[in-house]
Amino acid sequence: MKLIRNSITDDLHQKCLKELNEKVSENCWKSSSVNWIDEIKKGIVGSCIVTPVSDIIHNLLEEKLNPILPEYRELVCQYYIWQPQSGISWHKDSGRIFGATLYLNDLWHPDSGGWFIWKDDRGHHTILPEKKLLVINDQNQYHCVTPVSLSVFRCTIQLWGNY
């Protein structure tokens, strides 16, 4: 895993949050409960909702992050709102060059769950969501997200580098 702190500017972060807040009331969301395979929902009772970022935000993200992302043919960028009790079971992002998470929440308390855990040859590693932190999984490592608490939403942009 590669961890890049302050991966985007404050201005771009605010643009992402503004668009995410505008999309909240739109009829454009898919639910993990319906659209994710059973394997990555094991032990998870909540639902994560997903929608694409706009072309404008996509282009801004691609321009800013392209120098630090592995080479790809296609970049997919999606907003994820991790609702209470949502998470994702242990899995790999197979079939892609990389998967990446960009954290949007300004603050995140350790008691709120939503911890990102991954395993490599040195053992297990855990990080707490951190504003503008980009985590890049370009080694197809096993990882999961612990269930989010009942009182908050965990907001991210997931980026997928496809062949």
Q: Is the pLDDT of residue 151 over 90?
A: no
Question: Mean pLDDT score of the chain, rounded to an integer?
Answer: 97
Q: What is the mean pLDDT of residues 109-120?
A: 97
Enter the pTM of the model: 0.96
* Eight-state DSSP code of residue 46: S
Per-residue pLDDT of 28-44, as tens digits, reads: 999 999 999 999 999 99
Contact call for residues 5 and 130 (beta carbons, < 8 A)? yes
Q: What is the mean pLDDT of residues 102-117?
A: 97
Closest CA to 68 of 153, 5, 116: 5
Query: Sorting pLDDT into bands at 50, 70 and 90, what band is 25?
Result: very high
Percent share of the chain, pLDDT over 70:
100
What residue spans of the chain are helical by DSSP H?
10-23, 32-35, 55-65
Rounded-to-integer distance, Cα 94 and Cα 122, Å: 21
Rounded-to-integer distance, Cα 143 and Cα 76, Å: 20
Contact call for residues 49 and 26 (beta carbons, < 8 A)? no
Closest CA to 62 of 77, 52, 48: 77
Q: What is the mean pLDDT of residues 91-96?
A: 93
